[in-house]
């Protein structure tokens, strides 16, 4: 344990930059602690949480310095540790922060100078929220099945279709949107106020999240709305995943820290059969196994994010591996923590119950576990002589 009594130990796997970002993000998250339970129950933007994000400089981490961001290039390890600190306190804060990068990264890597100058400084200050619209009613894991179409009409591009379960749907200022065009997939930057774009509510999920379904009915965009070349959109989506998929593992580490701390505080004080629960072998095993999983996935996460700094694209499979390991571990850890706390692990509105629900979607979004396993196994077979 660190002197503060927290599981958020200072890891020697982090360099000075990452440690400074971790400390900074912890301060921002601490400022959100008093309203975190309320924020995490909200499926619309929670204004005090957004105000805290805006007042901080955290969103600068997801934008290159030439456009109002912090570092020359977006640093996957910095994003990872920032998400760790945010998620431990509030999934709402974590999501608002992460989406600024997930929604805007394609602009950073493929946008025109004008697109970058128009949008990125506002993303870096969190004045404008960002969205990434890939998923459709008929296209989830299989993005090649995307049915939203882009058709060139003179100087304009006309977009028709629907996107579902889009984070920040209804709150974002723009959506980086993947569409089908002439047999390929293209990426478009669609401002939220475009005529023909409407947003309806997505069904409420077990861990509330700002989500909306987008309806695109004859949305007309100038040709300058393209992000990169026609038909090459998937490339920029993969670039986004290369940097941000590993950050889901960072968030999972933060969630595990929070859940395990709750379980430790409960089981070392509550006595049954004359001793604290934590001193009964099977309960001690729940705690010890959870700590082992937390610390091993922490190291894997930091190591993978540090490697992704050098060449994010080359590290996509490793990022998938770390995301898979950390999110699956988070579900196991939080389940053990609930078990160790007995009926107190089941109380609605408690921190542990919140973590239990929040761990679940992490195994579905940004690459569902089964789909990640397919790619990881393929890579493994390629790597072995």
Ligand X SMILES: Cc1cc2nc3c(=O)[nH]c(=O)nc-3n(C[C@H](O)[C@H](O)[C@H](O)COP(=O)(O)OP(=O)(O)OC[C@H]3O[C@@H](n4cnc5c(N)ncnc54)[C@H](O)[C@@H]3O)c2cc1C
Binding site residues, ligand X, CB under 6 A: 132-135, 140-141, 165-167, 205, 209, 211, 361, 364-365, 368, 370-371, 374
Nearest to 228 by CA among 217, 241, 238: 238
SS (H, E, C) 14-26: CCHHHHHHHHHHH
| Closer residue to ligand X in complex, CB, 133/329 | 133
**Min dist. Cβ of residue 169 to ligand X (A):** 8
Q: Name the β-bridge partners of 178.
A: 187
**Min dist. Cβ of residue 362 to ligand X (A):** 8
List all residues 6 or more positions away from 141 whose beta carbon is below 8 Å from its beta carbon: 367, 368, 371
> What is the C-alpha separation between 39 and 46, in angstroms, rounded?
6
| Closer residue to ligand X in complex, CB, 31/367 | 367
Strand ranges, E, within 182-227: 184-191, 197-201, 211-222
| Closer residue to ligand X in complex, CB, 148/301 | 148
| Residues annotated as part of the active site | 366
**Min dist. Cβ of residue 205 to ligand X (A):** 6
| Closer residue to ligand X in complex, CB, 235/270 | 235
**Min dist. Cβ of residue 199 to ligand X (A):** 13
Strand ranges, E, within 142-299: 149-153, 156-167, 174-181, 184-191, 197-201, 211-222, 271-272, 275-276
**Min dist. Cβ of residue 60 to ligand X (A):** 21
Nearest to 205 by CA among 167, 158, 256: 167
| Closer residue to ligand X in complex, CB, 14/216 | 216
Task: Tell me the backbone φ, ψ of residue 165, rounded to 5 degrees.
Answer: 60, 50
Torsion on CA atoms 31, 34, 39, 41, rounded to nearest 10: 150
What distance lies between CA 252 and its chain's CA centroid? 10
C-beta nearest to ligand X: residue: 140
**Min dist. Cβ of residue 307 to ligand X (A):** 24
| Closer residue to ligand X in complex, CB, 267/320 | 320
Cβ atoms of 257 and 194 within 8 Å: the answer is: no
């Amino acid at each position: 344990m660190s002197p503060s009594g927290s599981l958020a130990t200072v890891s020697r796997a982090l360099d000075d930059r990452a440690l400074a970002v971790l400390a900074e993000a912890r301060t921002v998250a601490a400022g959100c602690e008093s309203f975190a339970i309320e924020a995490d129950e909200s499926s619309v933007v929670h204004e005090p949480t957004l105000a805290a994000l805006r007042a901080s400089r955290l969103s600068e981490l997801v934008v290159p310095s030439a456009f109002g961001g912090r570092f020359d290039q977006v640093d996957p390890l910095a994003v990872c540790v920032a998400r760790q600190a945010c998620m431990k306190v509030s999934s709402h804060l974590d999501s608002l922060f992460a989406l600024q990068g997930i929604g805007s990264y394609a602009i950073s890597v493929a946008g025109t100078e004008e697109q970058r100058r128009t949008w990125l400084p506002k993303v870096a200050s969190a004045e404008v929220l960002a969205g990434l619209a890939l998923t459709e009613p008929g296209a989830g894991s299989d993005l090649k099945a995307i049915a939203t179409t882009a058709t060139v009409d003179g100087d304009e591009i006309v977009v028709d279709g629907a996107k579902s379960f889009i984070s920040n749907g209804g709150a974002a200022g723009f959506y980086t949107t993947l569409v089908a065009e002439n047999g390929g997939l293209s990426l478009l930057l669609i401002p939220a106020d475009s005529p023909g774009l409407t947003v309806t509510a997505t069904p409420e999920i077990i861990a509330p999240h700002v989500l909306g379904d987008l309806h695109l009915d004859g949305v007309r965009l100038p040709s300058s709305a393209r992000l990169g070349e026609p038909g090459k959109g998937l490339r920029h989506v993969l670039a986004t995943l290369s940097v941000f998929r590993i950050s889901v593992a960072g968030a999972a580490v933060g969630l595990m820290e929070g859940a395990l701390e709750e379980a430790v505080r409960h089981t070392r004080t509550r006595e049954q059969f004359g001793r604290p629960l934590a001193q009964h072998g099977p309960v001690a095993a729940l705690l010890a196994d959870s700590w082992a999983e937390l610390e091993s996935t922490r190291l894997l996460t930091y190591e993978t994010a540090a490697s992704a700094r050098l060449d994010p694209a080359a590290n996509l499979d490793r990022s998938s591996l770390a995301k898979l390991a950390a999110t699956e571990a988070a579900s196991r850890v939080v389940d053990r923590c609930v078990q160790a706390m007995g009926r107190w692990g089941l109380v609605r509105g408690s921190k542990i119950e919140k973590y239990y629900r929040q761990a679940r979607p992490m195994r579905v979004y940004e690459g569902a576990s089964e789909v990640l396993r397919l790619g990881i196994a393929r890579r493994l077979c390629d790597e072995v002589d």
